[in-house]
Chain A
Amino acid sequence: MAVAEKRTSPNNLDQNFGGEALTLKPESYVRMVWRRFKRHKLAMAGLYFLLAMYLVAILAPYIATQDYRAVDPPNRLKPPSREHWMGTDHIGRDIFSRVVWGSRVSLSVGFVAAGVAVTVGTVIGAVAGYFGGWVDDVLMRFTEIVMSFPTFFLLLTIISIVERSIFNIMLVIGFTSWPGLARIVRGQFLSLREQEFVMAARALGASDARIIFRHILPNAMAPIIVSATLRIGSAILSESSLSFLGLGVPEPFPSWGSILNTGRTYLRYAPWITTFPGIFIFLTVLAFNYVGDGLRDALDPRLKD
């Protein structure tokens, strides 16, 4: 998580959930959440922004005006113009096209890394919380061990020893940021497994896997969704921090972080190289935070209509 680089801020952003089970029917529940979410204007703005960004990422080949790899040394460090909407970098590559393609790289790094973190965290938390006993002990001790390492340095250490590919970067960011979520999910499971509907399912002879995934997990989704949203943003920031230290997604793939990093040498007289990816990192992370915030409010059962 990027916050690791900003001193440990207590991660309780994720934790303000009541332990109450959400036993409403899925459809009406989703509709209710959506209605509440819509009231949060900034969250809606964030959502629209993110949808637009994902669209850009998907349609990158059609939106980019030039080949993001094409170097054109005589036209290096040119300010934004009609031909190069965001200017060119130190070897004359078109920043606009790189930012467009970079959205693909950055968003997928964020998405996959968060996906890995959420999957690992959810599975470990769910299994620990559901089975309890020694399983819980072992898994939670392991979680605590991983959690105890200084996150950003653990990330740096591992990144510096694995082969640096975009895939590894996603995995490593994901694998170093799951423990917080595992704890939350475990907490949810601990309280949910005692609920009547779980008892009922068990009495009907449902398997453990079925109970975990069909009965309890849907009811524990709220904090997972919020956490996943926030985590995508922080994974994007993590990647850009790694890029700053020269350990991010390697060339020739442009990530917003790596474009920003190449431009830092030229910050003073070619500020457009850093400005545009910087703004996109900033806006995207901001949008994820607002969406997360909106989701939290919308999903919080204590906030009645």
Chain B
Amino acid sequence: MYRKLASLVAVILTIAVFVTGCGSGTGQGKEGTGEKPTKGGQIVYGMTGDPVIFNPILATDTPSAFINERVYSGLVRANEKLELIPNLAEKWEFSDDGLVWTFHLKKNVYWHDGTKFTSADVKFTYEAIKHPDYTGVRRTDFKPITKIEAPDDYTVKLYLDKPYAPLLSKLTIGIIPKHIFESTPIAKMKENPANMNPIGTGPYKFKEWQKGQYILLEANDKYFEEGPYIEKVIVKFYQDEQVMLAALEKGDIDYMGSIPADEIARMEEKYSDRFVFKELPTNGYDYIGLKQTNPIFKDKRVRQALMYGLNREQIVKDVLKGYGTVMNANIPPVSWAYAGDVLNQYPYNPEKAKQLLEEAGWKPGPDGIRVKDGQRLSFKVLTASGNKEREAALLIAQQNWKEIGVEAIPEYIEWSVLCSQYLDVAKFESYLLGWSLGLDPDCYLFFHSSAAVDEKGQLVGFNDVEFKNADLDQLLEQGRTEMNQEKRKEIYVKVQKIINEELPYVFLFTRNRVSAMNKKIQGVVWSTLGPLFPEKWYIKQ
């Protein structure tokens, strides 16, 4: 399901971003103020929703991920440039054919209960994900691994059936303790009480959970890297974003990850002495997926006309209040593979759109909607009900397109029904939704022809628009097997060019979120993905 994928990816991202070790994170604070970090104090986070399960291989929701990324560590993690750097693994190497990956683990790592962390834990975690009884959403990530070996306590070898570059970004997933979980059959892993009282290797230890109210974490004194400095982490849970914002204003919480766009200006004006406000681009985008096999969308000129005929700048300005960027292909600016200006920007140009539609044979009909061979240029756009920004964007699109003689009929459908009856069976004319993306630019599952519908009519990957392009297929395959990042970037720029020209989607925008952090918290590294390295933060004396 989309949401699942989205949140799964959010998990990967956040784990990668927040759980930390050394590297580029060190040294801030010191360089800024010349101050030395001191131990003590507390930070209070506000979150909406309730966490579900504190087990990184089972969790799919954002609040759980937020806790997991502080309690657990993965083999690798991402820095503020989305580059993967060591975490539990000290270093790693790939065999020349890319089929054997060897990881050398750090030796000074202990679980929160005092047990030593070894390669057996890594092997256990990855094998659990590959187990047939595993009920989680990470199986696909680990499919290319055929065998996991732990030749000694501090070495892990992964054997792959074919070179698969994106795998490294999946290894940000938190490692779970074998000695806690091995007694539970994998099918019953969810029932292990440690999921509610987790033991990890991360900078913070799980201390207390008042259900529906707050979670208390405490500094792990035996953390394997520098820090943590802040003694207590409290995460408060709210059920309503507006109420949480009110709590921020009252000073009940020190951090809110995403301030509603309409409130940002007022907040910045009123509280700039109390909070640091940071605008951060997110790693995802919203789009309108067009069924490529539909007679209307078959013609590339129609797809391009829909792009030219849509005032996406205005959507960003009015719907997102300017906190966002127009997208022209499938990789957002935060990624190292972003193509940027080399793509056609499709500036708003209704005249050009009309001209393209004329060329494609669509002539204005009696009611202003274009007609060709007796068919009206009219289609349904499905979207999940409840997301105000998407509803607003869709209404603007409907109005814009009407001006070029295209009728879009919005239909708002409950999320699970939208997934099970339309998207998962790939039956629709078009739909408006968004993707949250992983660290890796790999988009094989979205646009490769083999990820579309198989001969039995079953959707294989996420290519529900059934986009098929032989050149693109080849590039996507190369992108997965090429291990060199520079060369991969070249490949993915080509990918974006094809997608920008062929338009499986009408690309809309990527959002920027604005976070607020209490000024007393020092040493925060702001990156495109949020505040990094929480264990190196400290309270200003």
B317 to chain A: which residues have CB within 8 Å? 73
Are B410 and A252 within 8 A (Cβ)? yes
B395 to chain A: which residues have CB within 8 Å? 69, 71, 91, 252
A116 to B327, CA, bound (A): 48
A91 to B399, CA, bound (A): 12
CB-CB under 8 A for A251 and B318, given A71-B392, A264-B242, A265-B262: no
Are A267 and B242 within 8 A (Cβ)? yes
A250 to B241, CA, bound (A): 21
Q: Encode A48-71 as 1/0 by CB contact (under 8 A) with B.
A: 000000000000000000000111
Are B388 and A164 within 8 A (Cβ)? no
| Nearest residue, chain B, Cβ from A159 | B414
A71 to chain B: which residues have CB within 8 Å? 392, 395-396, 399
- Interface set, chain B 380-420, CB cutoff 8 A to A: 385-386, 388, 391-392, 395-396, 399, 410, 412-414, 417
- Looking at A69, A160, A251, which has the most chain B CB atoms within 10 Å of its CB? A251
Main SS at interface, chain B: helix
CB-CB under 8 A for A246 and B262, given A70-B399, A73-B314: no
Q: Does B67 contact A (CB under 8 A)?
A: no
Select which of A73, A77, A246, A268 is within 8 A of B396 by beta carbon.
A73
Q: Does A269 contact B (CB under 8 A)?
A: yes
A160 to B241, CA, bound (A): 22
A267 to B417, CA, bound (A): 30
| Shortest beta-carbon distance from B387 to chain A in Å | 9
A78 to B410, CA, bound (A): 25
| Shortest beta-carbon distance from B268 to chain A in Å | 14
Are B318 and A164 within 8 A (Cβ)? no
Q: Does A262 contact B (CB under 8 A)?
A: yes
Are A269 and B399 within 8 A (Cβ)? no
Are B412 and A251 within 8 A (Cβ)? yes
Are A91 and B386 within 8 A (Cβ)? no
B414 to chain A: which residues have CB within 8 Å? 160, 163-164, 247
Q: Encode A25-68 as 1/0 by CB contact (under 8 A) with B.
A: 00000000000000000000000000000000000000000000
B262 to chain A: which residues have CB within 8 Å? 77, 90, 265-266, 269
A267 to B246, CA, bound (A): 12
Q: How large is the interface on A (under 10, 10 to 19, 20 to 34, 35 or more residues)?
A: 20 to 34
A265 to chain B: which residues have CB within 8 Å? 241-242, 260, 262, 388
| Nearest residue, chain B, Cβ from A75 | B318
Q: Does A74 contact B (CB under 8 A)?
A: yes
A71 to B410, CA, bound (A): 14
Q: Does B266 contact A (CB under 8 A)?
A: yes
A295 to B439, CA, bound (A): 66
| Nearest residue, chain B, Cβ from A245 | B386
Q: Does A76 contact B (CB under 8 A)?
A: yes
Are B417 and A163 within 8 A (Cβ)? yes
- Interface set, chain A 79-100, CB cutoff 8 A to B: 90-92
A70 to B392, CA, bound (A): 11
Are B319 and A251 within 8 A (Cβ)? no
A74 to B317, CA, bound (A): 9
Select which of A69, A90, A163, A269 is within 8 A of B413 by beta carbon.
A163
| Shortest beta-carbon distance from B294 to chain A in Å | 22
- Other contacts beyond A74-B318, A164-B413: 10, CB < 8 A: A69-B395, A71-B395, A90-B392, A91-B319, A91-B392, A163-B413, A163-B417, A247-B414, A251-B385, A252-B410
List 30 A–B pairs whose Cβ atoms lie within 8 Å, in order of A's numbering. Answer: A70-B399, A71-B392, A71-B395, A71-B399, A73-B315, A73-B317, A73-B318, A73-B319, A73-B396, A76-B318, A90-B262, A90-B392, A91-B318, A91-B319, A91-B392, A163-B413, A163-B414, A164-B412, A164-B413, A164-B417, A250-B412, A250-B413, A251-B391, A251-B412, A262-B388, A265-B241, A265-B262, A266-B262, A268-B242, A269-B262
